Structure 1
Amino acid sequence: MASITLLLPERSRLPGALPAAAARALGRADREQGQAGSDAQLRRHFLLPEQWSAAALTRQLDCGDAAGALWLRADPAHVAPDINGARLLGWGEGLGVDQADTDALLPTLRPLFGDAGLQLDAPHPARWYLRLPHGIRLPEFTAPEEAAGEDLFAVLPQGSSDEARRWRALITEVQVLLHHHPWNRERAAQGRPAINALWFWGGGTVPEQVRGPYMNVRSRDPLLQALARAAGASIATPADPGTGVVGDSLVDLRHLRTLEVFALQALPPLLRSMARGEYDALLLDFEDGTRFRLTRGQRWRWWRRPLAALAE
């Protein structure tokens, strides 16, 4: 029989009192604590090398040409000044970037990167890439999900190395070009935020091997789709239901932001399905590292008290 795993956000993002059925089921579940963070959460479900590249994986998903090259994501972004400096407030699909934006901005930026020996392209409006020369040394870049809302100075490449200084200078040149670009006035007139930066992250090459236990992965996240494809799983998205292959399944619900959607819409049908014997186990994996494992036999743990809230 199969199992279903739900990838979920940090429990703090789903505050409130659990409904009775969910409270009872989670109170009787087995619970364990793992490492927090998005990288650790993905590593619980996919066997990856110590250093792996989100840019190369999503490039392979988008274009199929990532092998044999070094890649860096260069996603369109919006940064805004505040009293202490500036902060990343949006990037990629969150900015509503479309092909018209790419067509307007990419020709202005390409010569800047070409002069530095880098090749910029955008096979998807929200996912831009730099192809880098082999042997180039990269500083440490911060993923946008981790940098969002933080002081920009704290999440840009740090240190006094030549690489860090070179990339900080390039980031500044990009911001100057985009700040003065007339297309951003068009976006402002349409009530959309300016694309006034590129966010660099996820650098590296395609991993030699990605392994995972799942036959099916359902997600709207391109990175998780890329991991699933590399591991040989069937991929389902909101637009494509996939092949329906029977087997262990991973379902990505990290976008949830209300307890009601999780506890009243997502969880109850899964509990009923498990009670009917349609699968063996349900694993809830939260980004803060907390995991609940639910099985049919736990219904006999009537002495355990219900869980009042996820954060309990």
Structure 2
Amino acid sequence: MQLTLLVPELIWPEPADTLALGQLAAPGFEWLDAHGAMLRSPRQAFEQALADVFGQTNSPYGALRVLGEPTGIDSNAARDGVWLCADPVHLRFHHERIVLADAGAFEISEEEAATLVADLNREFADVGSFYTATARRWYLKLSPAVNPEFCPKSASAIAPLSAIAGRRIDGDLDGKPTAITRWLNEVQMFLHLHPVNEARQMKGQPAINSLWLWGPGALPAPADPGYAAVWSRNPLAAGFARAAGIPNRPQPKTLADLLAHASDDAQLVVLDELLGPVLYEAAEDWRSKFETLERDWLQPLRAALGGPLTQVTLIAPTIYGKLQWTISRGERWKFWKKGQPVTMLARQLAEAA
């Protein structure tokens, strides 16, 4: 079996942070780093790295994520029309800069989401229809009557949510106003005055004062990326799989679980547990989840390369760039290769940036 693991934010973005990296035991990762050939390419968001492993460019993330939604929305609706992710966010000024917080950084109830979306649909019915899959994941399906110039022609022209959550977005808002940014200003004014936000502010909660509109487009033609199955709980990964006609299986808890249920053909596993802690600067949570990943996936890979696995490719989009290690079965015999602690690798990557 050839196994590809996609693990966003595998390396903590602050090399000197001892809370995350101090005395972090990672023999499995260190062995992979020592024995695998590492390639470093320019930085990519998780969503873009996911598109890469499916051989896609300019991916319509909105339609694809709808297609992969397990509940809350008719996923087959993604096969018709132009969709965008329209995720609820909070914009605030911090040191004279605009910072975006996505709904992973604050609480939003299903009732609040349903009320806001229903009222957005009444107010902006001429533009399209809003949908919620969960309180945190919203969508906009554009009306066929909307001018094609309303959205950027390239889905990659708008940063995916994981690339801007918790960060300054001044640069993303600069430039010549477009039809969609002018309309978004109207949406923001509508949300600012909405009773849901008035109630949230009375309770000291951040207002849902904007939407992040990204990933516009219609579903692409099917393409075969060469995997027999995709294993993930991420709706965007599930959507890529469905669009390619590949089964999307529930994410296994461990490598042993995967090997017990997967065929001998090429497999893709998406392990995105480390992404949230990095986006929300939760060092202790990242460390705990890394230790689980190390125990359940990385350490067992060494033995599995002597058994059912013929090759492992580990892909990690990080702040240091997109890192990729490839290790084949024969590499495990090179006993003289020694790994280095994760914190040392992080420092080297930061210095070489």
TM-fit CA distance, 1:200: 0.5
Name the CA distance, whole Å, in 1 between partners of 2:303 and 2:185. Answer: 54
TM-fit CA distance, 1:95: 4.1
Amino acid at match of 2:65: T
**Pair 1:155 & 2:167 matched:** no
**Pair 1:281 & 2:311 matched:** yes
Q: In the alignment, what sits opposite 1:61?
A: 68
Matched pairs, number: 303
Q: In the alignment, what sits opposite 1:4?
A: 3
Match of 1:269 among 300, 305, 310: 300
TM-fit CA distance, 1:55: 0.8
TM-fit CA distance, 1:189: 6.3
- TM superposition score normalised by structure 1: 0.83
**Pair 1:252 & 2:270 matched:** yes
Q: Which runs of 5 or more structure 1 residues have no equivalent in the other structure? A: none
Q: CA contact under 8 A between 1:77 and 1:95: conserved in structure 2?
A: no
Q: Which runs of 5 or more structure 2 residues have no equivalent in the other structure? A: 16-20, 275-285, 349-353
Over 3 Å counting, the alpha-carbon distance change for 1:69 and 1:24 in structure 2 is: closer
**Pair 1:101 & 2:112 matched:** yes
Q: CA contact under 8 A between 2:309 and 2:329: conserved in structure 1?
A: no
Map residues 14-93 of structure 1 onto 2, 5 A cutoff: 16=21, 19-38=26-45, 40-48=48-56, 50-62=57-69, 63=74, 64-91=76-103
**Pair 1:209 & 2:261 matched:** no
SS at structure 2 position matched to 1:155: helix
SS at structure 1 position matched to 2:124: helix
Q: Could you list the per-position Cα deviations for residues 134-179 of structure 1 after superposition, in whole angstroms to 9, with x for gaps in the alignment?
A: 452113432211222333332137325xxx1x32332222222222
Q: In the alignment, what sits opposite 1:177?
A: 190
Q: CA contact under 8 A between 2:90 and 2:206: conserved in structure 1?
A: yes
Amino acid at match of 1:255: E
Amino acid at match of 2:34: G
Q: Identity, % of aligned pairs?
A: 26
Name the CA distance, whole Å, in 1 between partners of 2:52 and 2:182. Answer: 37
Higher mean C-alpha displacement, 219-228 vs 96-105 = 96-105
Q: In the alignment, what sits opposite 1:297?
A: 330
Over 3 Å counting, the alpha-carbon distance change for 1:155 and 1:51 in structure 2 is: same
Over 3 Å counting, the alpha-carbon distance change for 1:267 and 1:206 in structure 2 is: same
Name the CA distance, whole Å, in 1 between partners of 2:28 and 2:85. Answer: 43
Q: CA contact under 8 A between 1:217 and 1:228: conserved in structure 2?
A: yes
Q: CA contact under 8 A between 1:31 and 1:292: conserved in structure 2?
A: yes
Q: CA contact under 8 A between 1:281 and 1:296: conserved in structure 2?
A: yes
Q: Could you list the per-position Cα deviations for residues 184-225 of structure 1 after superposition, in whole angstroms to 9, with x for gaps in the alignment?
A: 344456665432211111101110123222222222321111
Q: In the alignment, what sits opposite 1:232?
A: 245
Name the CA distance, whole Å, in 2 between partners of 1:74 and 1:142. Answer: 13
Q: Could you list the per-position Cα deviations for residues 17-48 of structure 1 after superposition, in whole angstroms to 9, with x for gaps in the alignment?
A: 55345423421222223343035522441122
The RMSD of aligned alpha carbons is: 3.0
SS at structure 2 position matched to 1:142: coil
